[in-house]
Amino acid sequence: MSGGTFNYKQYAITEIIDKLEEVLDEQGKPNPDYGRYDWETELLRCDSENVQMVIKEAIHTLKRANIFVKCIDWYLAGDNGEDSFFKSLVQELEELENI
């Protein structure tokens, strides 16, 4: 079965997380004054520490959402029973918080 309840659209969450992490990784690197959009890396820049803080919080929230969606997907698809569902959910959320 392997999930598929949401037509694998949950992977869009992972793509958003990856893009936001890429944006944060580019901060502080030289920018030849392209404004907020760097045409070489094709990334928006957010040099403001306040904006970066919000993006980091968004990444964390999206990671939590991704865990919920994945565990629910596996449960609804019949890959996990109720006990496995809760065990996986709690374990993955704890791992995220301990990173």
In a domain, 45, yes or no: yes
**57 pLDDT band (50/70/90 cuts)?**
very high
pLDDT in tens, 5-22: 898 898 999 999 999 998
In a domain, 84, yes or no: yes
Is residue 41 predicted with pLDDT exceeding 80?
Answer: no
Domain count for the chain: 1
Domain of 59, in residue numbers? 11-97
Residue carrying the six token digits 């968004």: 58
Is residue 94 predicted with pLDDT exceeding 70?
Answer: yes
Region 67-74: what's the mean pLDDT? 95
Region 23-36: what's the mean pLDDT? 69
DSSP 27-85: TTS---S-TTEETTTTEE----HHHHHHHHHHHHHHHHHHHHHHHHHHHHTTSS-HHHH
In a domain, 5, yes or no: no
